[in-house]
Amino acid sequence: MRRIVPRTALRKMVKSEKLGLRLSACADLLVYLNFLLFLRRLAEEARTNAFQNRSRIIKPEHIIVAAKAILKKSKG
């Protein structure tokens, strides 16, 4: 199976942000999975916004509005 995730690059980015952080073997995959779930929610929300505006094409403004809504929901 071909790897889609650049695992070493992702691990280096996480470790550079948080020095001294110990990561489990699958932590980088969990970060990537979270990213994919965010993209899916973003696409669904942007599609809903485009449909409400009676647009057949998802435009950048639909994505911006969707991103704001998703980030507001996930702030917890």
Interval 6-54: pLDDT, tens = 888 888 888 888 888 888 888 888 888 998 999 999 999 999 999 999 9
pTM (two decimals): 0.77
Pick the CATH number of 7-74 from 3.40.718.10, 1.10.20.10, 3.40.50.740, 3.40.50.970: 1.10.20.10
CA of residue 65 relative to chain centroid, distance: 15
pLDDT at 18 (0 to 100):
81
Map residue 29 onto helix, strand or coil. Answer: helix
pLDDT at 44 (0 to 100):
97
Contact 43, 26 (CB under 8 A): no
